[in-house]
Amino acid sequence: MIAIVNTKGDAIAQVATEFSPNEIAYFRLIVECIMLAPSESFSLSSIAAIKESANLPSKMTKTEAESTLNAFVSKGWLVKSKRGRYSLSTRSLLELQTYLKTTFEDEVLDCTICMEMVTKGIACSTARCKTRMHMHCYDDYKLKKRRVCPNCQSPWEELRLIPVGEDAVKDGPDSRRRSRRVEREQSMEEEEEEEDEEEMMQPPQEAEEDELMESETPPPAQRNSRQRRATQMSMASQLYDDEAEED
């Protein structure tokens, strides 16, 4: 387990050689936030990106965090949109493809047409349908006069398709990071309603604390089990602290 996690971490270090270990650790955190962004937005607001630097083993000032983020953009690893949101560049998607596919296997879906990861494009609006397409792949698909989802066969009207990528979120502070798809589906039937209620009732600062706590546990597999347990524990929250420490 530890060996696997280290190898995955090295994948970034191996390609982003121009950065210091702390900067690489920062980049890894940003990549994780982007890949786990809610609503498949695969993007992160600049405020959230700067805040994430607080989770680094050796702290950065706000200015240092900002200039490091600028360097990630200028070296071609991240893209910053007009709205000020960060997403992965084409270079990152290509060079980190294996890392991203293995680490975030359940979070990112492949394009139904070209089989590459879709971090920007469209999604079928049918619940749990896994059809995703890049915009250019969708344009080709439309040219062939196909107006149904290739998976679930539901009729596709353009307005009903869901954006994947930055367009999936409105401006303003980022909402809480999504849990991994696998556990979301597992817990959906039993806990869907309760979770929704919980999310709405939670004040924003609690969500932030949650996020900090998650980020302190970098190995994804560990966080996975921890999150899942956190969900199970939500009804018995007094037990949660004891359990979490055992991780």
Residues lying near Zn ion in the complex (CB under 5 A): 111, 113-114, 124, 126, 129, 131, 134, 137, 149, 151-152
Cβ proximity to Zn ion, 114 vs 221, nearer residue: 114
Q: Give the CA radius of gyration of the chain.
A: 19
Would you call 160 exposed, middle or buried from its count of C-beta atoms within 10 A (0-12, 13-18, 19+)?
exposed
* Minimum distance of Zn ion from residue 226's CB (angstroms): 32
- Short-list 144, 69, 79, 67, CA closest to 113: 144
Q: How far is the CB of 128 from Zn ion (least distance, A)?
A: 9
Query: What is the spatial distance between Cα 230 and Cα 217, in angstroms, rounded to a whole number?
Result: 13
The minimum distance between CB 90 and Zn ion, in angstroms, equals 13
Pick the closer one to Zn ion by CB: 140 or 210: 140
CB of 136 to Zn ion, least distance (A): 7
- For residues 162 and 139, the answer to whether their CB atoms sit within 8 Å is no
Nearer to Zn ion, 15 or 161 (CB): 161
Question: Which structure tokens are listed for 156?
Answer: 């596709």
Q: How far is the CB of 143 from Zn ion (least distance, A)?
A: 14
The residues, any chain, with a CB within 8 Å of residue 230's CB and separated by 6 or more, are: 240, 244
Which residue lies nearer to Zn ion by CB, 151 or 225? 151
Tell me whether residue 158 or residue 171 sits nearer to Zn ion (CB atom): 158
